[in-house]
Every structure is written in C-alpha cells, then in structure tokens.
Amino acid sequence: MVSIAPAIVVGFEQLEEVLVGTNPGRGAAEGRKDVSAQAVGYWKANRRLQLTLLAIWAIFGFGISILLAEPLNEIVIGGFPVGFWFAQQGSIVVFVILIFIYAMTMDRIDHEYGVQQEELGAARRRLQRRMQRRTTGETPLEPEDREGGR
C-alpha cells in the first residue's frame, strides 16, 4: 500500500508521456541510451497528430452524431435533418478523410525524421525520374546504377 502514492505520481508522468509524448520527471533519454532525441521527437510529433485527429473523430462520431443530434435535427437540408445526416452519412465520410490525412501527414513526419520506408514501384520510379528530367533537364541515375556493384 505504501508504494501506491509514489506510484501514482510516476503514473501521471507516464500518462503525460502517453498523451503528449513528453516525459518530464524521467526524461525518455534518462537511463535509456538506446532512445535517441530524434526518436523521442518523432513519437511526440506522431502523438500530437493523433490527438488532433482523435478529437475530430470524437466531435463528429459522438458529439454531432449523438449528443447534439436532437437539436441539429431541427435543421433540415435537402430533406435530411442535419443530425440524422451526420449520423448516417457525414461522419463516415469524415472518418475516411481522417485516416488519409493521418497517412499522408505521417509520410511527411517520417521523412522529417528520416524513418521513411522506400517502396516506390518500378513504374512510380520511372515516372519520378521523368518528372525530374523535365524540371531539371538532367538525367538522374537509376538507383540501381548508383549502387553499382551490389
């Protein structure tokens, strides 16, 4: 039982790590030499993006579609009471968009922190080279050429 109080303090610090990606008291790097500052920054950026998107998810999925459905149903557009429309159409569309925003923003964050995974197919690589040639006028080497002997 004695260990509970400090455990709760530690718990809050850990929870803060979960929510905003910082870890004040026990800095992520402290005693964890394997976790670089770069890795901490990446995770923090990811957490921030997730919190924003999950907030929008909750506002549409639970706020507008359920909690505010009755007042919103007083407004009718195109035959649809607005609360009804969000609950049966609009929120689904918002969910799809949120996932693509997440995937695309993470592409950017991955690049920023140098953890992107190359997976362009042969056709995409050809297209990219052609675009590059058109804009710069020079012919970039095939990645395979560059790596020559391998």
Partner 1 sequence: MTVIALTAIQTWALIFAVISFSIYIGIAIYTRVKTTSGFYVADQNIPAVANGAAIAADWMSAASFISMAGLIAFLGFDGSIYLLGWTGGYVLLALLLAPYLRKYGKYTVPDFVGDRYSEIARLVAVLAAIFISFTYVAGQMRGVGIVFSRFLDVTLTVGVIIGMVIVFTYAVLGGMKGITWTQVTQYTILIIAYLIPAWAIAAELGDFPVPQVSFGEVASELNGLQRDFGLTEYTQAFTARPMQDVFLVTLALMAGTAGLPHVIIRFYTTKTVRAARYSAGWALLFIALLYTTAPAVAVFAKTNLIQDVANQSYAERPDWIRNWEDVGLVTFNDRNDNGAVDSLGTTTDTDVELQVDPDIMVLANPEIAGLPAPVIGLVAAGGLAAALSTAAGLLLVIAGAVGHDLYYRRFRPAATDRERLRAGRVGVLLAVLAAGYFGVNPPAFVGQVVAFAFGLAASSFFPVIVLGIFWRRTTAAGAVAGMLTGITLTALYMYFTIFEDMEYWLGVSPEGVGAIGMVINFAVTIAVSLVTKEPSQEVQDLVEEVRHPRIAPPAAPAASTAAPSE
99 interacts with partner 1 by CB under 8 A:
yes
22, 29, 44, 102: residue in contact with partner 1 (rule CB under 8 A): 102
Tokens 């964050």 label which residue? 109
> What sign for the dihedral angle of Cα 84, 88, 91, 94?
negative
Nearest to 54 by CA among 85, 120, 99: 99
Q: How far is the CB of 105 from partner 1 (least distance, A)?
A: 10
Contact pick of 22, 44, 48, 110 for partner 1 (by CB under 8 A):
110
The residue type at 7: A
Please, which residues have CB within 8 angstroms of residue 105's CB and are 6 or more apart in sequence? 49
Q: Which of residues 32-91 bind partner 1 (CB under 8 A)?
A: 32-35, 39, 42-43, 46, 50, 53-54, 57, 61-62, 65-67, 69-70, 73, 76-81, 83-85, 87-89, 91
Residue 6 has, within 13 A of its CA and on its CB side, a CA count of 3
Structure tokens at 134: 């058109």
| Site of tokens 């303090």 | 9
Secondary structure of residue 48 in the 3-state scheme: helix
Name residues contacting partner 1, limited to 3-42 (CB under 8 A).
3-4, 7-8, 10-11, 14-15, 17-18, 32-35, 39, 42
Question: What residues line the site for partner 1 (CB under 8 A)?
Answer: 3-4, 7-8, 10-11, 14-15, 17-18, 32-35, 39, 42-43, 46, 50, 53-54, 57, 61-62, 65-67, 69-70, 73, 76-81, 83-85, 87-89, 91-93, 95-96, 98-100, 102-103, 106-107, 110, 114-117, 119
